[in-house]
Amino acid sequence: MSPEKDRLSGLIHQMAHASDMEPAKISQVTGEVLLMVSNALFRLARENSRFRASDSILLIESSPGKMTRTEANTFLCACFLEYRSGKTEVWDNVIFFIEEILDGNENLWHEIVHHTTEGWNERFFDYNLHPEPKIHTRLYHIATLMVRFYAGDGRQIWTGYEDDPESVYKRLLLLRIPRSTACLIVGTLKDLGYIQGPFDIVGDVVDSRVLGRMVCGDGAGITPMKARRLARMLSPEDPWDIDLPLYMIGSTWCGPGPKCRACPVKHSCVHAISEKLGIRPDPLFRDNLFGKKSYQKTLKQWQIESLCSENNQGFKQKSGF
């Protein structure tokens, strides 16, 4: 047994009996687990270029730090079509659409909104951008907002905000795209050198599953918000630094049916070790990471319950109860 695996096994034995431990001890064990997971992810990226180079296959012909309007729109279109989904060759489809169907027209978004909504949907099979009709339809609505807010030029989203990833993220959300997609765009722009500064991981289902298993022993119930919080604990200087390792682990080994025996971080994963030991961490450890949920009624809930109570009282009086 490796020293790393041996140490984590000892921690998991303690995690299984959290109810018998003092809060300070729970925090100490939790901190050690976080440190082990963090070290494993950074070591993976440091020792293997696959886990640190951007997974974007965007080829920029312009000089570093510059991007043409066509390149920016091509890049964004592929991101909006969720190129990480693995369901289709999105990059190739987008390039074919722009170069062959639109004849290299740099006004991609204007060309899309020249269709009616119905007309765009009717071209689903002709354009073959994505296998899911709902994603094809969503691209049309994004195009209308790209024209409205950014004059159809994707570069306007980050121009002037090169040192402020959070602002770029908020400007992307104006397009009503999923938060995970906006995070991916910001992170990829960081990888390509167009913006600088720390930023969150994508926080999609893959990230959530991997982080949940590695830190908590179970990927269920880890929301995107919780995944991003865990990433900040593991990589406080810049959470984005661990996004690619998480994605690579999740898409290769840590799927719905995990392949723990082949995984390169199996000796630093609570799930992998606890499966071999046949024990489960006490839920108290997850509570220690995220805090216990407290139920607080919103004003609206309180008003609804008060109104229902008044109606019930009135009904009883009228009925003679």
DSSP state, 214?
Answer: I
The SS3 assignment for 289 reads: helix
Q: What is the pTM of this model?
A: 0.83
Q: Which domain holds residue 176?
A: 69-191
235: helix, strand or coil: coil
Question: Is residue 310 in some structural domain?
Answer: no
| Token digits of residue 225 | 């918000």
Give whole-number Cα distances, 142 to 123, 177, 180, 211, in Å. 17, 8, 15, 31
Q: How far apart (Å, rounded) are the C-alpha atoms in residues 294 and 227?
A: 20
- Give the pLDDT confidence score for residue 89 in this predicted structure: 81
User: What 8-state DSSP symbol labels residue 99?
Assistant: I
Residues 159 and 208: their CA atoms lie apart, in Å, by 31
Do residue 154 and residue 226 come from a single domain?
Answer: no
Domain endpoint, select from 191, 221, 244: 191
Instruction: Determine the 3-state secondary structure of 257 from DSSP.
Output: coil
CB atoms within 10 A of CB 166: 13
Residues 6+ apart with CB under 8 A from 10: none
Based on the fold, state whether residues 173 and 234 are members of the same structural domain. no
- Judge whether 36 lies within some domain: yes
Residues 144 and 185 in one domain: yes
pLDDT of residue 50: 85
Phi and psi torsions of 2, nearest 5°: -70, 155
For CA atoms 192, 196, 198, 201, give the dihedral sign.
negative
Burial class (CB in 10 A: 0-12, 13-18, 19+), 32: middle
The verdict on 182 and 205 lying in the same domain is: no
Regarding whether 186 and 73 lie in a shared domain, the answer is yes
Residue 150 DSSP SS3: helix
- Can you give the CATH number for the domain in which 87 is found? 1.10.340
Q: Are 98 and 108 in contact (CB under 8 A)?
A: yes
Total tally of structural domains belonging to the chain? 2
Handedness of CA 144, 150, 151, 155 (dihedral sign): negative
CATH number of the CATH domain containing 221 = 1.10.1670
**Count of C-beta atoms within a 10 Å radius of residue 236:** 10
Is there a domain that residue 266 lies in? Answer: yes
The stretches in the chain having pLDDT less than 70 are 1, 55-65, 84-88, 292-321
C-alpha–C-alpha distance, residues 203 and 144, integer Å: 27
Distance CA 192, CA 195 (A): 8
Out of 164, 191, 218, a domain closes at 191
Q: For 211-235, give one letter per residue: b (16+ CB within 10 A) or e.
A: bbbbbbbbbeebebebbbbbbebbb
